[in-house]
């Protein structure tokens, strides 16, 4: 999505909703010139009727878990179950320094947060003397959660805690990451005869005139620090 052109987001979403695409994704950073993804996806969900909306990926450790659970449940409910929470850690130290979160504990913090969010989405009382936190998500047990990871520890976390794996890596690395994830699923008792948990890949297509392509390439390169996106 054109993060440098917020006014164009609605047009992009409507075009994608009419076309062959299955999902709209928005990236997440804090110290970066991008719209906050949950707020922006709520707007896009209201402007579309078919296409799914997804964070790709939300840097969850930057946020407070109880409020994040409520925000995700709200988006899932208002979009009639079209929301997927793509979740990950990120690696930019400045994002964590801006909110006072220890970047070295981000993996442990994410695991703690998932336990809190699953409890909120269950509809049970939050704690002794604290009632349930609504709204109930459209999907029983909470929105679909796909973990993005690159390290062995992250892939193990995805297999234990997620509904699937979101491969936000370069295509050249996708095959090995998917195979590693399948190995971890088997270790968690998912056999090859069962339905595998969800697997998703990320591509950044350009639905823009040629005059806008250079600007979009700058966005992709600036965020990811890699090669320009293919046209």
The full set of domains in the chain, from first to last, is 6-224 (3.20.20.30)
Instruction: State the sign of the Cα–Cα–Cα–Cα dihedral 66, 71, 77, 81.
Output: negative
pLDDT on residue 226: 44
**Residues facing residue 199 across a β-bridge:** 165
pLDDT on residue 230: 35
DSSP state at residue 26? E
pLDDT at 212 over 60: no
pLDDT on residue 118: 96
CB-neighbour burial class of residue 205 (10 A; exposed 0-12, middle 13-18, buried 19+): exposed
H or E element that contains 152: helix 152-161
Q: What percent of the chain has pLDDT over 70?
A: 80
Are the beta carbons of 216 and 180 closer than 8 angstroms? no
pLDDT at 211 over 70: no
Are the beta carbons of 153 and 160 closer than 8 angstroms? no
Distance CA 223, CA 28 (A): 10
Are the beta carbons of 41 and 71 closer than 8 angstroms? no
What confidence tier does 229 reach under pLDDT thresholds 50, 70, 90? Answer: very low
| Tens digits of residue pLDDT in 77-134 | 999 999 999 999 998 999 999 999 999 999 999 999 999 999 999 999 999 999 999 9
Of 12-16, 159-163, 203-207, highest mean pLDDT: 12-16
Question: Which of the pair, 228 or 108, is modelled with greater confidence?
Answer: 108
Q: How many CB atoms lie within 10 A of CB 62?
A: 20
């Amino acid at each position: 999505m054109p993060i440098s052109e917020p006014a164009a987001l609605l047009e992009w979403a409507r075009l994608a909703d009419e076309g062959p695409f299955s999902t709209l994704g928005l990236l997440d950073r804090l110290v970066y010139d991008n719209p906050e993804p949950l707020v922006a996806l709520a707007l896009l969900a209201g402007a579309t009727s078919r296409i799914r909306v997804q964070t790709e990926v939300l840097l969850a450790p930057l946020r407070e878990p109880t409020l994040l659970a409520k925000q995700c449940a709200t988006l899932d409910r208002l979009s009639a179950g079209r929301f997927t929470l793509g979740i990950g850690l990120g690696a930019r130290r400045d994002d964590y320094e801006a909110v006072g979160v220890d970047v070295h504990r981000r993996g442990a913090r994410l695991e703690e947060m998932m336990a809190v969010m699953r409890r909120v989405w269950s509809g049970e009382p939050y704690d002794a003397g604290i009632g349930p936190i609504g709204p109930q998500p459209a999907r029983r047990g909470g929105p679909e959660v796909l973990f993005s990871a690159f390290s062995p520890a992250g892939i193990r976390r995805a297999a234990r805690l997620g509904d699937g794996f979101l491969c936000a890596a370069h295509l050249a690395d996708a095959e090995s990451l998917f195979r590693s994830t399948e190995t971890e699923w088997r270790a968690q008792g998912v056999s090859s005869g069962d339905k595998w948990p969800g697997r998703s890949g990320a591509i950044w297509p350009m639905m823009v005139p040629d005059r806008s392509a250079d600007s979009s390439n700058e966005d992709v390169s600036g965020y990811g620090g890699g090669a320009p996106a293919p046209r």
